[in-house]
Amino acid sequence: MTTTTRSRKIARIGQEIRKDVLEQVNDRINDNMISKALQGLETSRMKKSLFDTDKYRDKRQSDKEGALPDKEFLARNSLLTDLFEITHIRTVYNLFIVIFLLLFLNTIAYDIMESGTLTCGIVIISKAFAKFPASLYIWSLMQISTLAVYVPFNLWSHQRLQFSPKSLYRKLWDYGWLTIFISYQVLFLILPPRVTLNEDLGIACRLAIFLEQTRMMMKSHAFVRSVAPRFISYKPHSDNTCDRFLRTDAIRWIVVVKNFMEVVLVIFYFAFIMERLVLPVFHIFGTQYLEPKWIVKSIIEASVPGILLCISANYLLLHSWMNAWAEMLQFADRLFYKASFSHIVDWWNSTSYRTYYRTWNVVVHDWLYTYIYKDIYEILMPRNKTLATLIVFLVSAIFHEYTIALGFGFFYPMMFFMFAGVGLSLFFVGRIVASNVVVWLSFCIGNGIMLSTYAMEYYARLNCPPYSNYYLDLFAPRSWTCQAQFIHH
């Protein structure tokens, strides 16, 4: 082989190697560019989705002149469902998982070293859900009675057409059935607590029963209040439309399973927090004299587990639980909490309690707005926003206190005070003080106060002697006078 031929062969091999290298580099560059372009498009899509004010709008202008906006349903995900698609936001979720794992490891270490048995929160969960089958039986009867409201309502709405309009018989028929419905709501308020307290259910079961009782009463009232006026103003042969709720095309069972798994994990989250951060601190209350500085210190320290329990409960009820049932029922509007409509501010970024109260629990807020606030503002006391707001806060505070008092088995009006007193004040002060730091600080302190006072009262009911008067013992917190027995000694 001549020198010239050898040189040409080497040059050809070099060109082939150069071509292969350039092709690989170009492929890598193109892949990176395409990947970055797709990432940019996805990020842009997510930002556009998250910052679209129409997506989180839940009110539309009413057709009636001078009336407040009406509820509007749209097909949309829950806010956190969309946010968790962003890696940076997903980190917050991962941090809560890490806290859960640390509490889990702490619980395992404590169980092995202190008691020699591994319970992992099972004992406290078993106590909280004691007599769970009985609670399901009570709930089933409540659900049946709620669904049965449709039967007499259907009878009333069709039979009233047999009477001539504006006749005495039609008025007696209408007011008679209205009286029956009010009587039913009163009985529904009285009977479940009597049965539940007689059965001596666990705290979690009692709380679930009374939360469901409130929900069913709200449902019954909403059904009658929204549908009855259409039958009262009904005219034969007129164009009458019916409500059609947005529904999804299919049930994604993987989403249902995922959300219910999160419900179970959050329940264990509660158990670990209570076992490691709450019960070891407050179980001594009522067994020895505790100085006032111990109480102050415990309240401040309770802010950390208090806010963890509050955030976890919010996620359990308003995200995991609601999304699981919405998916099974194919309900497309998942706006159970929201961002403010006028400016995209979710409840955890609220700078005032005015925004927080309107966004953190859309389910309850919409009911209070539609069936109490609007009725007072438009019918009972026209154009009186202040009175409507006061009554909404009062009703909300009463039912929050009702659920907590019957759920825990004692009356301690701290929840009522926080809602009707502090909460209402902060609602109006929010116009002056606007800071997310202030909202979170007050939120943490408030939850610490409620957690510590309810924990002290719980152990006072176990460790302290009752009042001599039955009714005084029923309504007066024992923790207020429990320390006196140690001072006298």
Confidence of residue 113 (pLDDT cuts 50, 70, 90): confident
Q: Please, which residues have CB within 8 angstroms of residue 347's CB and are 6 or more apart in sequence?
A: 337, 338, 355, 356, 359, 360
Q: Is 397 exposed, middle or buried (0-12, 13-18, 19+ CB in 10 A)?
A: buried
**400 labelled catalytic:** yes
According to the model, what pLDDT value does residue 110 have? 85
Could you read off the pLDDT of 407-431 as tens digits, one per residue?
998 999 998 998 888 888 887 776 6
**Weakest-pLDDT range from 132-146, 177-191, 226-240:** 226-240
- Residue 144, pLDDT > 90, answer yes
Supply the pLDDT for residue 220. Answer: 95
Name residue, tokens 């889990």: 104
Tokens of 263: 């419900």
The predicted structure's pLDDT at residue 34:
47
Q: What is the mean pLDDT of residues 249-256?
A: 93
> Position of tokens 């004692």?
410
pLDDT above 70 (res 208): yes
Q: How far apart are CA 464 and CA 481, in angstroms?
A: 9
Residue 373 CA to residue 390 CA, distance in Å, equals: 9
How much is the average pLDDT of 380-388?
87
Confidence of residue 236 (pLDDT cuts 50, 70, 90): low
One-letter identity of residue 167: S
Q: pLDDT higher for 14 or 364?
A: 364
SS3 state at 67? coil
Bridge partners, 71 (sequence order): 59
Q: What is the structure's pLDDT at 435?
A: 82
Tally of CB atoms within 10 A around 196? 23
Residue 333 has pLDDT above 70, yes or no: yes
Higher model confidence: residue 203 or residue 358? 203
What pLDDT, on a 0 to 100 scale, did the predictor assign at position 436?
85
Most confidently predicted of 10-19, 229-238, 319-328: 319-328
Mean local confidence (pLDDT), 65-76: 77
d(CA 282, CA 88): 38
Quick check: helix, strand or coil at residue 244?
Answer: coil
pTM, rounded to two decimals: 0.83
What's residue 473's pLDDT? 87
Residues 6+ apart with CB under 8 A from 9: none
pLDDT at 258 over 90: yes
Taking the C-alpha atoms of residue 456 and residue 19, their distance in angstroms, rounded to an integer, is 78
pLDDT of residue 342 exceeding 70, the answer is: no
Render pLDDT for 9-64 as a digit per residue (tens, 0 to 9): 665 665 666 566 556 645 554 555 545 544 554 555 555 555 555 666 666 676 67
State the virtual CA torsion across 158, 163, 168, 169 in degrees, nearest 10: -60
- The residue assigned the tokens 């839940």 is 58
The predicted model gives 203-223 an average pLDDT of: 95
Residue 179 in this model has a pLDDT that exceeds 50: yes
Highest mean pLDDT among 297-306, 352-361, 421-430, 478-487: 297-306
- Tell me the one-letter amino acid at 486: F
CB-based contact 381:375 (threshold 8 Å): no
Question: Catalytic: which of 365, 400, 488, 489?
Answer: 400
% of the chain at pLDDT higher than 70? 82
- The residues pairing with 70 across neighbouring beta strands, listed in sequence order, are 60
**DSSP tag of 76:** B
Q: Is 283 helix (H, G, I), strand (E, B) or coil?
A: coil
